[in-house]
């Protein structure tokens, strides 16, 4: 019944059904990015609509992505469980559960979504975007799951499985074998916003070395106070290192990030 209601709600074909011009542009660009053309563009529009944007868009959009996120979460777990069951026949239930929990954790999903560039396509209110919403782990992870829900409703389980395999499971071994999946910037941002009602700012303090082998040094500050300093071969890596140091200084263990399931 829920699926019938969702299909009915999002059942209109064509981009003309998107009453919001910003939404139309975001939908088309995101379809190009993921290489999937929706039969019902309203589905992906719903997946990209954060509640902050829905609240200011009036009646131009059907709803925010929260219901699609709920559905996508279940589809994601099914696909990941099926993948792990067949990929690791020698592993017992306890090990498979731990592996699944990592692959569907907020830190992993937010990092995958960030690398996909999902934040740039999300429909956020101006206030939410200014506050760093397009980099916030919870928004990215929820948006990624909402997209899965939209692909599932539009193309079925096979299409959703292909999407998950392409953007998540294709790199599962690296994720399971490495701590690089931790999105320190997103974890720091959520904790700083919760504690201080503001967000961290990153400042590049130096660029050393020749163009082909530069080392960047970045500070992360909150209300002018330096919380961490990081170095890396690019600004993104240096920012992650700075955020990691800041989390350590705040006594926050990023590996304790609870699974998103």
**Per residue in 240-250, pLDDT tens?**
899 999 999 99
Residue 206: CB atoms within 10 Å: 12
Which residues are within 8 A (CB) of 54 and not within 5 positions of it... i.e. 6 or more apart? 61, 63, 64, 123
Q: Region 42-57: what's the mean pLDDT?
A: 85
* Alpha-carbon gap, residue 23 to 209, rounded angstroms: 43
Q: Kindly tell me if the per-residue pLDDT of 261 is higher than 50.
A: no
Question: CATH 1.10.1520.10: which residues of the chain?
Answer: 2-177
User: Please, are residues 54 and 64 in contact by the beta-carbon 8 Å criterion?
Assistant: yes
Whole-model pTM above 0.95? Answer: no
Summarize pLDDT for 105-149 with one digit per residue, the tens: 888 899 899 999 999 999 988 888 888 888 888 899 999 999 999
Please state the length of the chain. Answer: 261
Q: Region 4-24: what's the mean pLDDT?
A: 55
Q: How confident is the model at residue 8 (pLDDT cuts 50, 70, 90)?
A: very low
154-157: Cβ within 8 A, 24+ apart: 154/38, 154/39, 154/40, 154/43, 154/44, 155/36, 155/39, 157/75, 157/78, 157/79
Q: Return the CATH architecture of domain 2-177.
A: Orthogonal Bundle (1.10)
Q: Measuring CA to CA, how many Å separate 234 from each of 106, 205, 219, 240? A: 24, 13, 14, 10
Q: Kindly tell me if the per-residue pLDDT of 75 is higher than 80.
A: yes
Q: Kindly tell me if the per-residue pLDDT of 208 is higher than 70.
A: yes
Question: CATH 3.30.160.20: which residues of the chain?
Answer: 184-256
Q: How confident is the model at residue 25 (pLDDT cuts 50, 70, 90)?
A: confident
Nearest to 77 by CA among 178, 7, 169: 169
Catalytic residue numbers? Answer: 73, 145
Q: What is the CATH number of domain 184-256?
A: 3.30.160.20
User: Please, are residues 164 and 84 in contact by the beta-carbon 8 Å criterion?
Assistant: no
């Amino acid at each position: 019944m829920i699926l019938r209601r969702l299909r009915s709600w999002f059942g209109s074909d064509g981009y003309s059904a998107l009453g919001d011009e910003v939404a139309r542009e975001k939908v088309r660009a995101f379809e190009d990015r993921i290489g999937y053309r929706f039969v019902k563009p309203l589905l992906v529009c719903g997946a990209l609509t954060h509640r902050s944007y829905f609240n200011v868009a009036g009646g131009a959009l059907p709803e925010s992505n929260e219901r699609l996120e709920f559905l996508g979460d279940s589809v994601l777990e099914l696909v990941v469980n099926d993948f792990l069951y067949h990929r690791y026949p020698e592993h017992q239930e306890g090990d498979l559960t731990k592996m699944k929990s990592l692959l569907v954790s907020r830190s992993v999903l937010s990092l995958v979504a960030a690398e996909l560039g999902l934040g740039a396509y999300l429909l956020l209110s101006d206030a939410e975007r200014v506050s760093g919403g397009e980099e916030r782990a919870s928004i990215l992870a929820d948006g990624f799951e909402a997209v899965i829900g939209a692909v599932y409703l539009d193309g079925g389980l096979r299409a959703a499985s292909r999407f998950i395999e392409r953007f998540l499971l294709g790199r599962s071994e690296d994720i399971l074998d490495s701590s690089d999946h931790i999105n320190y910037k997103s974890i720091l941002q959520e904790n700083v916003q919760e504690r201080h009602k503001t967000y961290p700012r990153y400042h590049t303090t130096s660029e050393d070395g020749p163009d082909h082998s530069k080392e960047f040094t970045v500070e992360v500050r909150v209300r002018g106070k330096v919380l961490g300093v990081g170095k890396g071969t690019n600004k993104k890596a240096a920012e992650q290192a700075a955020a990691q140091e800041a989390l350590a200084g705040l006594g926050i263990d990023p590996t304790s990030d609870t699974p998103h399931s």
